[in-house]
Chain A
Amino acid sequence: MESEIPITMTYAGQLAGIVGASEETKPVPQGTALTSFLRDTANRHGGRFQELLFDENKQLRRALVISINGEHALDPEALSLTRPCEIFIMTPIAGG
């Protein structure tokens, strides 16, 4: 049987505001592709959340800051979730 691992999502400002929480934990099958997990998460929250994460071609936006256990995920498309981890995700900010 496929084992599940807990993934903790931590959301910065705008995303936390949309979700109504800065953190949520979901179990996922071990080996799930990161983009697949993010797509499911975006579908679950819908609307503005989805728009901030994915472009009109359903591609993950390149300017998002995504880190896994504190390490910048430069190429999220290439990553899979193989063990429990924390994914931090923030939309770009430039306020001065």
Chain B
Amino acid sequence: MAGEIRLTNQDRSFYEWQLDVPGMGEEGQSKLRNTTALVTRLGGLGGPIAFSLAAAGVGKLILAHGGNLEPSDLNRQILMRHDDLNTPRAQSAAKTLHSFNPHIELETVESHVTADNAHGLVSKADIVFDAAPRFTERFWLNEACVRSNTPMIDAAMYSMEGQVMTIVPGVTPCLACLYPEEPPHWKRRFPVIGAVSAMIGNMAVLEGIKLLTGVGKPSLGEMLYVDTLTMGLRKITISRRSDCHVCQP
């Protein structure tokens, strides 16, 4: 494949234990190495997502998160550092990721997803991880992904529960099939323990890795719902809406 980055011996040494996962091997690792992933918001969900993508050796991460780091972010935003309070979150996250894995490429965008930038950001990525805390951002991303035929892993949480939905345009329902209208009661501030958001974020990463490498079976057409109060996992079969304003012609 033209422009494909080949695994180096150094790559092989870093990912040696991952290469042993059945189905992964050099082929799977090479797919990850040649992937660009967009992670929108780097908070309780997006931070662990970016961290685990970096650990897995995804070649390039586009990190989109606006605003400066605040004290109340630090119970869950594991890429951030106390020393970086009042500085841009995206920069703090990139510093941590670079020190953790200096062999991957990082691009920072000091902005949240907006109606204006969603299509541009998505067009640069092979896969999108949606970890935004507002439905409007999620809907913009969903639409941009459907329009550009880019897979999106949607992760969300509230308090002790969370959900993950893998969206493959043309194959699965989209986010607007699940939520055909913006929920009126959702509030920007939500209760969160970092361990819950990290767990849901890592489930999203596994869905992405499976989709990219062909290892295992991604949960296509299903929403994974986790209740950490009981450690219950539920799979709900989601159907495409015939009148979906996003994914239906």
Contact = CB atoms under 8 A, between A and B. Distances in A.
A91 B241 contact: no
A72 to B, nearest CB: 5
Contacts of A96: 41, 43-46, 131-133, 155-157, 197
A18 interface: no
A52 interface: yes
A93 B157 contact: yes
Nearest to B189: A95
B241 A13 contact: no
A46 B60 CA distance: 50
A10 to B, nearest CB: 8
Contact of B138 (A72, A90, A91, A94): A94
B179 A72 contact: no
Contact of B160 (A13, A62, A70, A74): A13
Contacts of B135: 92, 94
B182 A63 contact: yes
A22 B230 contact: yes
Contact of A94 (B132, B223, B234, B235): B132
Contacts of B186: 92-94
B197 A88 contact: no
A12 B224 CA distance: 13
Contacts of B159: 13-14, 95
Contacts, number: 96
Among A14, A51, A67, A91, max chain B CB count under 10 A is at A67
Interface residues of A, number: 24
B17 interface: no
Nearest to B228: A13
Contacts of B14: none
B214 interface: no
Q: What's the interface size class on B, roughly?
A: 35 or more
A71 interface: yes
A91 B156 CA distance: 12
B235 A14 contact: no
B134 interface: yes
Interface string A1-17: 00000000000111000
Contact of B225 (A55, A90, A91): A90
Interface in B197-233: 197, 223, 225, 227, 229-230
A14 B179 contact: no
Nearest to B235: A70
Interface of A: 12-14, 22, 51-52, 55, 61-63, 65, 67, 70-72, 74, 88, 90-96
22 contacts: A12-B161, A14-B159, A22-B230, A62-B180, A62-B181, A63-B179, A67-B237, A70-B235, A71-B237, A88-B236, A91-B183, A91-B185, A92-B183, A93-B162, A94-B156, A95-B44, A95-B45, A95-B162, A95-B190, A95-B192, A96-B44, A96-B133
